[in-house]
Amino acid sequence: MPKIDLATVDQIIREVAATEIMPRFRKLAAGDIEMKGINDPVTVADKESERCLTEKLSAYLPGSLVVGEESFAKDKAVIGHLDAEHPVWIIDPIDGTRNFVAGTPEFAVMVALVQNRKAVASWIHDPNSGDTIMAEQGAGVWLRGKKLKLATSDPSIPTVGLVGSRVKKLISDASVMPQSPDIPKIEIGSCAGFDYPRLFTGEVTFANAPTARAGFLLYRHTNAWDHAPGMFLHHEAGGYSADWDGNPYNLNNPRSGLLYAANREVWERLHKLFEPLRLHTLQKAS
């Protein structure tokens, strides 16, 4: 596969966000919004962003394939592209669509480039601030020309755990999770595109967000477009992650759960702590 220029792909993402997303932000008409499922909206901005990104990224890397959130919604077979020998772009045209619809400026464009089912580069772009956090294999994680590191690498930085609202509810339920002082401070995340950047610290901060840094992430739903970009950033910074059973993340499994931590030792400790949650989830699924 030819070498990919991070800045060129970043520029493509920026142009699409500027032409297809931001002109529609806080200006959506009723007919611009559809529901794919319960509490799962899709807008004309999602569709047009993915269409343009698909066209431009495919042209930039001839022979590449695309797995996008909206293309998958129309045709589940596109997930099979991940098993192809060709490089694959994984695209979330607007991560945080509910925020976008509500007029809340916490949404992002997320892209990962995958070869042989392994990410080799990724980008998370905030159309509001113009920030893009990006990485390529072996080169670290970068934002505005500054290299970032995991927030957990600096003991002086206070961190929290970020989880989804449903997971937070279960963790707070004494019938599911024994309530213990060992449970770290936990907050409900905003969307993956804003959760993942909170794992990092450095001279600059993604979207200038004043929120606390994240020490770990815990997810139940694991669609590739939501997690492949952020997982690659986390791995490039030296973090450790695995699904709730301790296996490597499977891009084709949208319900495997994911736990991110600073290293394997911390992951093992958190995994043991949240074991009752995993068992509860398995019981409900059976």
DSSP string, 211-237: SPEEEEEEES---HHHHHHHHHHHHHT
pLDDT number for residue 181: 87
Q: Give tens-digit pLDDT for 22-57.
A: 999 999 999 999 999 888 999 999 999 999 999 999
Angle between helices 264-273 and 275-285 (to 10 degrees): 60
* CA–CA distance, 268 with 224 (Å, rounded to integer): 23
pLDDT number for residue 180: 84
271: how many CB neighbours lie within 10 A of its CB?
18
Q: CA 241: distance to chain centroid?
A: 13
Dihedral (CA of 9, 15, 21, 22) sign:
positive
Q: What is the pTM of this model?
A: 0.96
- Give the closest residue to 237 by CA, choosing from 218, 260, 212, 207: 260
Q: Which residue has the tokens 């890397």?
A: 61
Tokens of 37: 């499922």
pLDDT number for residue 179: 86
* CA–CA distance, 12 with 83 (Å, rounded to integer): 25
Q: Which residues of the chain have pLDDT under 70?
A: 286
pLDDT number for residue 79: 95
